């Protein structure tokens, strides 16, 4: 039992050292990263600026409530398709972003910059 405890402590110490030792890099990277199982949307192209992290697959107005008409890039770390809608409650024009592990760095290319207000992440694709 003692040995197991020591091993866990060593592993925890190694993890702590790892994050400290890497310096300022990880903090900057984390602003641009997106955790597994989430859709992350940024206010600026290239995964910069304010970030909204969405978990639910259901229609959600979280994006519109926190960052309405500002979305400019996204990462999808979830299976299925992320759909971003122009208006709240999945209304208006919708754009599909297929996953998993999908990145889209500039909505301007879609003529959909600074427009999205709601999201949905159907597991089995979407019609758009
Ligand atoms: Ca909108």
CB count within 10 Å of CB 118 equals 23
72 CA from centroid of ligand 1 (Å): 12
Determine the distance from the C-alpha atom of residue 98 to the mean position of all C-alpha atoms in its chain, rounded to a whole number.
13
Residue 124 is predicted with a pLDDT of: 86
Q: For every residue of 40-102, which 3-state class applies, written as one string? A: EEEEECCCEEEEEEECCCCCECHHHHHHCCCCCEEEEECCCEEEEEEEHHHEEEEEEEECCCE
Token pair 């309405």 is found at 68
> Which residues are in the CB-under-5-Å shell of ion ligand 1?
69, 86, 115, 117
100 CA from centroid of ligand 1 (Å): 25
76 CA from centroid of ligand 1 (Å): 20
**CATH homologous superfamily of 33-128:** Crystallins (2.60.20.10)
pLDDT tens track for 77-113 = 999 999 999 999 999 999 999 866 799 999 999 999 9
């Amino acid at each position: 039992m003692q040995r197991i405890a020591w091993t866990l402590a060593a592993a925890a110490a190694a993890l702590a050292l790892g994050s400290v030792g890497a310096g300022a890099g990880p903090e900057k990277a984390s602003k641009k990263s997106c955790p597994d199982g989430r859709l992350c949307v940024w206010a600026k192209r290239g995964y910069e600026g304010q970030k909204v992290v969405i978990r639910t697959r259901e229609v959600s107005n979280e994006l519109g409530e926190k960052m309405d008409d500002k979305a400019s890039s996204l990462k999808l770390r979830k299976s299925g398709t992320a759909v971003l809608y122009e208006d709240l409650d999945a209304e208006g024009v919708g754009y599909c972003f297929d996953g998993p592990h999908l990145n889209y760095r500039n909505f301007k290319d879609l003529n959909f910059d600074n427009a999205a207000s709601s999201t949905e992440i159907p597991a089995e694709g979407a019609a758009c």
